[in-house]
Structure 1
């Protein structure tokens, strides 16, 4: 069992808001993704490597409301919520073993689809973010090529992901449990501080940092 970073998740009240946040900062456009029928959401994507990408995800206005909370805390957003780097996703080759070891934090394994793609992913029952987004969601793709390989290369790559949490050892325990390796660095916050992420991305316009949109 092993795991590595698979993609970054930008949440927004709608796709246009989320994509404008990314494009204004990175200077590149995102590509169409698709719809997630089980969650009532849709996304757009940006390649960050051969098996790594950034996802902007939002509730799909015309989609049927699911019979459970949506993933990535999307039900908690309002029309005025800023776009933000909410969490990250780690790819594994043994999702059920990982879920058994830390399901109380990452959630249970659910099957998911988008167009012809299929995968398994962990989702907390309340649809929230594991450790406020500091701990990763876990994914295992079905057979075939990774979806990032089908995306246009816009000259962007992830150099590092900084994770700020009041209890970084708790986050580290999850990463150890899933046998994680990759450019993810943990930092301690004071008790009153809010956990957050900083993604350092090399772009055609220089090194940029993603976190939360200024409002």
Structure 2
């Protein structure tokens, strides 16, 4: 069983700021996204299929100021004051999300390695093309798995969001994990991504209208 890179998560202080950053950085505006009422967030999306990275997209996500408090800690560390302080300086790559056909099995494998990624939450949102449903591992404290060295794991149920996304001039070229442990890499079996020794926890390179762009986590 392999894990494929599903999408990259760019956090922003506001969705408008994130969209402006995307256009300035990549030369293209992101497409529409949606809202996540159960998390109090909203997003915009951009398809970034590249060699070895099919059905992959970029997610720009921010706290939705019009949404009521979700009653729980938000995903991707968005409620962490340190993360919010960084996003106040500009949008940043927060993590990568990897998809798997069996998120529960990999969850227990990581728990056995003392890298608890959190329980699998059932989520969904309606789109003009129909309902999107998925299960995603989210820690109760909102922290990223493995203190940010591991991707978040997702299992789609039915349609994948890229089915309704037009192609874009941005293409994912490389994903590198710099702190994944050998036994974690053996369990997750990343397809297309590299596990390297050292460097940022997660670094990605994209081919864009502005030339090659490399982003990395803090």
TM tier, smaller: 0.7 to 0.9
Distance (whole Å) between structure 2 residues aligned to residue 35 and residue 93 of structure 1: 24
Structure 1 regions of 5+ residues with no counterpart? Answer: 190-194
The reply on whether 1:134 has 2:149 as its aligned counterpart is: yes
| Counterparts of residues 91-110 of structure 1 (less than 5 Å) | 91-103=99-111, 104-110=115-121
> TM-score, normalised to structure 1's length?
0.86
Distance (whole Å) between structure 2 residues aligned to residue 210 and residue 169 of structure 1: 18
CA RMSD of aligned residues (A): 2.0
Instruction: Kindly state the Cα deviation for residue 174 of structure 1 after the two structures are TM-superposed.
Output: 2.2
The reply on whether 1:159 has 2:173 as its aligned counterpart is: yes
Distance (whole Å) between structure 2 residues aligned to residue 136 and residue 198 of structure 1: 11
Q: Deviations over 1:169-199 (max 9, x none)?
A: 52x432321232222342315xxxxx44332
The corresponding residue for 1:62 is 66
Q: Deviations over 1:25-54 (max 9, x none)?
A: 111110110011211111001101141001
Distance (whole Å) between structure 2 residues aligned to residue 149 and residue 202 of structure 1: 21
- 21 and 198 in structure 1: CA distance in 2 versus 1, 3 angstrom threshold: farther
Q: Number of residues paired by the alignment? A: 203
Contact 1:30 1:45 in 2 (8 A): yes
Instruction: Kindly state the Cα deviation for residue 133 of structure 1 after the two structures are TM-superposed.
Output: 2.5
- 18 and 80 in structure 1: CA distance in 2 versus 1, 3 angstrom threshold: same
Aligned match for 1:88, one of 93, 96, 117: 96
The reply on whether 1:202 has 2:217 as its aligned counterpart is: no
Q: Deviations over 1:33-84 (max 9, x none)?
A: 0011211111001101141001011111011211211000001214724311
Which is richer in strand?
1
